[in-house]
Amino acid sequence: MALSSSNLSKSCSNLGEKVRVIARIRGFTDQELASDATHSKSMISVSKSGKGGPFETVKLSFDDQTSSRKNEYDVDHCYQQNEDTADIFSREIKPLISRVFDGENSTFIAFGARDSGKTYTIQGSEEHFGLGMLAMDDILKTVEGGKHRVTVSMYEVFQDHIYDMLDPRNPEIQVPVKSLSEFQKLYFSDSISNKPTKKITLELPRKSHKALMINILACDEKGSSKLVGKMNFVDLAGYENARRNTIDGPNISESTRINKSLNALVNVINALNANESRVPFRESKLARVLQDSLGGNNHISMLFCLNPLFCPGTVHVVTLASRLKNIKPAVVCSASKKQTNSSASISGKKYTKPPLSANKMDSTRKQQTASRLPLSANKKTNTLVKGRNLFGGIEEVNGKKEQTLTMENNPTNIVKSDIPDGDSTVVHVKEDASVKTQNNTTEILDDVNDDNKEKENDCLVVNDSQSPPLSVKLKEMSNYLKSLNSSTPVPLHDSTNTQVCKSVDIMEPKTPKVTHKLDISNSNCQSGSFSKRTTGLKQALVQNYLHFLNTATEDELKGTSGIKEKRASYILELREKSPEPFKSLDDLQELGLSSKQVKNMMKEVVKDLFS
Ligand SMILES: Nc1ncnc2c1ncn2[C@@H]1O[C@H](COP(=O)(O)OP(=O)(O)OP(=O)(O)O)[C@@H](O)[C@H]1O
């Protein structure tokens, strides 16, 4: 059953895929077995080819006579009813443990409809250990007598708030774990297992995402320790059919909220798998907590848990898995990426894996490396958040608790739902219909089978790579400014050109730091048309405005269009974390402004100048 670590990594990363897509069809419960409904047969069929090898392909289909679903759905691997959690552990988790000791983080996320076996797989019970327990057992055996120690954090994301499950009153708890029995006590304590499996409760368990973070720390002779790597196990709230109001499930608005939060996370995973240069971390609280484990070479597995009997969410879950599996990593510059990615999202279409070419792997690696850069360096994935740093922020150094990781090197900052929302928090797609239709990561969540389609559940993430015209304009401006600076003119990027760009600079234009002294007469505007010349003026205005945001006092900020008290104080907070948080207009989106709002704000600024 065990697959070697090298085989496992081959099966994921050789094909440029960052996310391993696994399914599990859960066993029947005693109740199901007792009822006649099952006939002891799962409704999902699994067919495999290239069994066990790194290029194994697995297809799922429904044995559903009543609805004529003939589709096949691809996954990397599917665990069937006769396989237990220990099989999943030895194939999926065990090979990763040594990599965590080598400094990589790994994340295992269970996604599925209600009662599909997520908790059973991740946490398990005291009788049937889940992956968390099995991993801890293995890790503790590895660290025994060595120079490492293990701590755990457990947290819950409920209604967009994050709670520390080990002690909700304290900002952060990391508990050292010395033995499996100690961990077992902690992991199955009443406050953590709120499922009504053992006692009959009148209260429904709350629907939330729950996560276990196992941290491996290296200790030195002086007794100080340093984080080496971590393993995350996430048990997501069950995907709900928001249209169906059931007695035993959450109400419609709660279902919608849960699904929205699931969608936001899936969009992040989807963007990572597609190698998007922009990943919508900002839209998902959970993704933010996990952010430092999701980029670069860190390993992500998505386990899609499936009910063996037909349940309304199963088709949606399988569809989602298959789409994630078939995402073609983007390896080209933004203009062409737009096409590649939107094609990857078209419902029901199948995509073949990209051929293994040296060039492709190189650029994939380049992008992965970029996503590992500190936030300040990788502006595009910059997530500026307000609030305490719950996990990973405090580390014991020389026996003292110190805030060692800052925004610069640790994006794992947790927001207690108070990103400034005074004026408008999240970039809602409704504001800009064009974005909605272009957004492939939104589409990926739609159920092709229609029965689960929820209007209210449309994902609200703006995928920045599908950027609205403003960012294209900014790129043009930036390139133009470069041409003002250098003797070799840089051509304006043609947004309609879909050819692969050679220059990384064109993909990620860097805003010059120096404020430009414009000499229009000397500019490279050969045609001399007024509109071309004003491009430079526009950029100068933008630079001045950004400089203002980076330096103005609170009162000055408050007196500016589009900035009220809440936003002004948030700007000051951002400036405390980074001396120059606004380097381009794109950064204004961190203030909760859509690109359209940024544009309107700039218009107001110009108006103010002439009023
Ligand atoms: N592989 C399995 N074999 C046997 N029983 C299972 C298996 N997986 C899950 N079950 C049983 O199915 C039921 C639902 O499982 P579980 O609570 O893990 O679902 P869930 O997806 O976490 O549900 P929710 O979305 O409500 O949190 C439980 O009674 C559990 O014991």
The ligand 1 atom at the shortest distance from the C-alpha of residue 29 is 5
Q: 207 C-alpha to center of ligand 1: Å?
A: 14
Has residue 315 got a pLDDT over 70? yes
Which residues, including other chains, have CB under 8 Å from residue 385's CB and lie 6 or more apart?
Answer: 288, 413, 414, 415, 419
Q: Say which residue, 15 or 272, is predicted with more confidence.
A: 272
Q: Is the CB–ligand 1 distance for residue 307 below 6 Å?
A: no
DSSP 592: T
Q: How confident is the model at residue 544 (pLDDT cuts 50, 70, 90)?
A: confident
Q: 306 C-alpha to center of ligand 1: Å?
A: 10
The ligand 1 atom at the shortest distance from the C-alpha of residue 84 is 1
Helix (H) / strand (E) element for 79: namely strand 77-79
Closest residue by Cα to atom 10, ligand 1, is: 117
Pocket test for ligand 1, best of 120, 123, 158, 307 (most atoms within 8 A of CB): 120
The ligand 1 atom at the shortest distance from the C-alpha of residue 125 is 31
Q: Are 262 and 239 a contacting pair, CB within 8 Å?
A: yes
What sign has the CA pseudo-torsion 599, 605, 607, 609?
A: negative
Q: Is the CB–ligand 1 distance for residue 118 below 6 Å?
A: yes
Q: Which of 58, 53, 67, 132 is nearest to 97 (CA)?
A: 132
Confidence (pLDDT) at 248: 54
* ipTM score for this prediction: 0.98
Q: Is the CB–ligand 1 distance for residue 305 below 6 Å?
A: yes
CA distance 360 to 355: 8
Q: Model's pTM, two decimal places?
A: 0.57
Has residue 535 got a pLDDT over 90? no
Q: Are 250 and 345 a contacting pair, CB within 8 Å?
A: no
E strand segments, 236-348: 299-306
CA distance 577 to 208: 31
Measured CA distances, 205 to 50, 191, 451 (Å): 42, 11, 26
Confidence (pLDDT) at 488: 35
- Cβ atoms within 10 A of the Cβ of 69, count? 15
Q: Which of 324, 326, 286 is nearest to 304 (CA)?
A: 324
Where exactly are the structural domains of the chain?
A: 5-465, 477-610
- Cα angle value 8/286/126 (rounded, 5°): 65
CA distance 543 to 524: 19
Rounded to the nearest integer, the mean pLDDT of the chain is: 65
Q: Which of 484, 486, 488 is nearest to 536 (CA)?
A: 484
Taking residues 98-120, report their average pLDDT: 94
Confidence (pLDDT) at 142: 92
CA distance 589 to 426: 9
Confidence (pLDDT) at 192: 59
Pocket test for ligand 1, best of 29, 111, 233, 259 (most atoms within 8 A of CB): 29
DSSP 342-370: HHHTSTT---PPPP--HHHHHHHHHHHHH
Q: Say which residue, 432 or 81, is predicted with more confidence.
A: 81
Q: 119 C-alpha to center of ligand 1: Å?
A: 6
Q: Are 255 and 466 a contacting pair, CB within 8 Å?
A: no
Measured CA distances, 575 to 268, 413, 552, 572, 578 (Å): 26, 16, 10, 5, 5
Confidence (pLDDT) at 234: 96
List, for residues 36-75, the tens digit of each pLDDT value. 655 667 889 899 876 666 667 899 988 765 455 567 899 9
Report the relative pairing of strands 77-79 and 161-164 from DSSP bridges: unpaired
Q: Is the CB–ligand 1 distance for residue 120 below 6 Å?
A: yes
Q: Which of 566, 467, 562, 111 is nearest to 303 (CA)?
A: 111
CA distance 226 to 307: 41
Taking residues 15-34, report their average pLDDT: 83
Closest residue by Cα to atom 20, ligand 1, is: 115
CA distance 528 to 182: 76
**480-489: Cβ within 8 A, 24+ apart:** 480/535, 480/536, 480/539, 481/511, 481/512, 481/516, 481/536, 481/539, 482/509, 482/512, 483/524, 484/516, 484/518, 484/523, 484/524, 484/536, 485/512, 489/524
Q: Say if residue 262 is exposed, middle or buried (CB neighbours under 10 Å; 0-12, 13-18, 19+).
A: buried
Q: Does domain 5-465 have CATH number 3.40.850.10?
A: yes
Q: 42 C-alpha to center of ligand 1: Å?
A: 15
CA distance 281 to 574: 17
CA distance 220 to 212: 26
Q: 264 C-alpha to center of ligand 1: Å?
A: 24
CA distance 265 to 109: 10
3-state DSSP assignment of residue 327: coil
